[in-house]
Amino acid sequence: ATAQIGVTGLAVMGSNLARNFARHGHTVAVHNRTYAKTEALVKEHGHEGDFVPSETAEEFVASLVKPRRIIIMVKAGEATDAVIDEFAPLLDEGDVIIDGGNAHFADTRRREKDLRDKGIHFVGAGISGGEEGALNGPSIMPGGSAESYKSLGPLLESIAAKAEDGTPCAVHVGPDGAGHFVKMVHNGIEYADMQLIAEAYDLLRSVGGFAPERIAEIFRNWNAGRLDSYLIEITAEVLAHKDAATGRPFVDVVADEAEQKGTGRWTVQTALDLGVPVSGIAEAVFARSVSGHKELREAANGLPGPSAEPLSATEAEEFAARVEEALYASKVVSYAQGWNMIAKASEEYGWDIDLGAMAAIWRGGCIIRAAFLDRIRAAFATDPQLPTLLADRQFAEEVGRAQDAWREVVATAVRRGVPTPGFSAALAYYDALRAERLPAALTQGQRDFFGAHTYRRTDREGSFHTLWSGDRSEEQTA
């Protein structure tokens, strides 16, 4: 046995990950259900490093040094269980199985428990960065036991992306499903980011009157500032692209129905269960959903909207600057919500997640990589117990400075009939958090009126109920 790590499931993600290990000097055992893929990998990329191909699961397991480390790269769901069932009987106590797919964290918790009972470490690892990241450096979010990370960590850190300060974008997130959980939230935040960028584009186009090519330039400028990020960078590329067949802007020939594979939806479903408001992510998931409901959109097409004068060139430039502020402030809110969700789950499941470390490993390799994440890392370094990013002194100052522009942009969008669910929800959340009093007091009154659900008072401890259908006197119930 010579291989330090094994990869089974050699579609593009698996192959690229195996090549990444080999290129970093590790001996990599490779295996796939159908041998042709294994052969093709070794034939095409064998010169990149040391690969040990195996045709059968038994040979593959025998080719690995102990403790064996096997990464499964198959489609999330039944295939993962099938592969685990095939390999588990061949392994020894202390061996490590890593699931690098996009599993739901609840499945990862179940699998981890089953394998733990057999003495095998199961690590659900979120891997972000797509095919390119897998080959050249992904952001890696492994869960599972701390012990498994001792033997696995150095291997993962060697192939992970490196942040600007050289830190590898891989860290032990926490026990059992913690890794897949934070990967899910990462994807939710990615949905929110994309939605906010889409709204900014829509405003620049429909209110500002700018052409896609000019908007690409605006995004390129933004990318040189505090919004510097992979998503803003590729937005400029997409907007500048011309369709070869028609010569028109590419965005104008693409059907405007956004699709989703489900991690955004999982994030929102899970957030509802945990009771964490992630309105930015939820609005992003719903916005994709609305875009896909062709029948609803056709039925509503032609409903009246407002009429408005086009902006002058100077007004349009000023408006664009305000959109940048609104985008930035809304982004801070959606990240604040995402981090709240991670903090809540960490508490609920006893994961003890280092919140700053999550920002640190997302600085490179993944889709939401951005200069901004180093600011989040710094915020948690200053205060590891920070209840919301909005309370960080620097973020608070920036959002405070942006708020006038942010309100103006949302008001303009409403007045001119441009849907901005992301910007609007983020602003509403900001205003709700900072409000001295919320109308939730009235909600409690209504609940007590129709359902005797009781309420608490601002001036005394205990639970109270008013005899609404009687003499309206108040009784203390607890």
Applying CB under 6 A, the residues found at the interface with ligand 2AM are: 9-11, 32-34, 37, 74-75, 79, 82-83
CB of 372 to ligand 2AM, least distance (A): 33
Q: Where are the alpha helices (DSSP H) in 171-312?
A: 178-206, 212-222, 230-240, 250-253, 263-274, 279-292, 294-300
CA atoms within 13 A on the CB side of 403: 14
Q: Of 20 and 267, which CB lies nearer to ligand 2AM in the complex structure?
A: 20
Question: Cα separations (Å) of 438 from 400, 442, 443, 463?
Answer: 20, 9, 10, 19
CA 441 to chain centre: 34
What is the Cα–Cα distance from 53 to 59, expressed in whole angstroms?
Answer: 9
Among the listed residues 39, 58, 183, 294, the single catalytic one is 183
CB of 168 to ligand 2AM, least distance (A): 27
Please report which helix (H) or strand (E) contains residue 125, including its range.
Answer: strand 121-128
Q: State the burial class of residue 101 (Cβ atoms within 10 Å of its Cβ: 0-12, 13-18, 19+).
A: buried
3-state DSSP helix/strand/coil percent for the chain, to nearest 5?
A: 55, 10, 35
Active site residue 190: yes
Residue of 445, 437, 440 whose CA lies nearest to 465: 445
CB of 431 to ligand 2AM, least distance (A): 46
CB of 78 to ligand 2AM, least distance (A): 7
Contacts of 321 (CB under 8 A, 6+ apart): 405
Active site residue 242: no
CB of 96 to ligand 2AM, least distance (A): 19
Q: Of 99 and 283, which CB lies nearer to ligand 2AM in the complex structure?
A: 99
Could you tell me if 159 and 133 are in contact, meaning their C-beta atoms sit under 8 angstroms apart?
A: no
What is the Cα–Cα distance from 233 to 222, expressed in whole angstroms?
Answer: 9
Tokens of 211: 């052409």
CB of 354 to ligand 2AM, least distance (A): 32
Among the listed residues 37, 39, 112, 190, the single catalytic one is 190
CA atoms within 13 A on the CB side of 361: 28
Helix (H, G, I), strand (E, B) or coil at 53: strand
Q: Of 63 and 420, which CB lies nearer to ligand 2AM in the complex structure?
A: 63
Q: Of 133 and 249, which CB lies nearer to ligand 2AM in the complex structure?
A: 133
Q: Of 11 and 381, which CB lies nearer to ligand 2AM in the complex structure?
A: 11
Q: Of 83 and 115, which CB lies nearer to ligand 2AM in the complex structure?
A: 83
CB of 77 to ligand 2AM, least distance (A): 9
Could you tell me if 418 and 268 are in contact, meaning their C-beta atoms sit under 8 angstroms apart?
A: no
Q: Which single residue brings its beta carbon nearest to ligand 2AM? A: 33
Residue of 379, 384, 293 whose CA lies nearest to 332: 379
CB of 72 to ligand 2AM, least distance (A): 9
Contacts of 182 (CB under 8 A, 6+ apart): 126, 141, 173, 342, 353, 358
Rg (CA), the chain: 26
Backbone conformation region of residue 27, classed left if phi is above 0, alpha if psi is from -120 to 50, else beta: beta
Q: Of 35 and 455, which CB lies nearer to ligand 2AM in the complex structure?
A: 35
Helix (H, G, I), strand (E, B) or coil at 319: helix
Q: Of 85 and 317, which CB lies nearer to ligand 2AM in the complex structure?
A: 85
- Report the catalytic residues: 183, 190
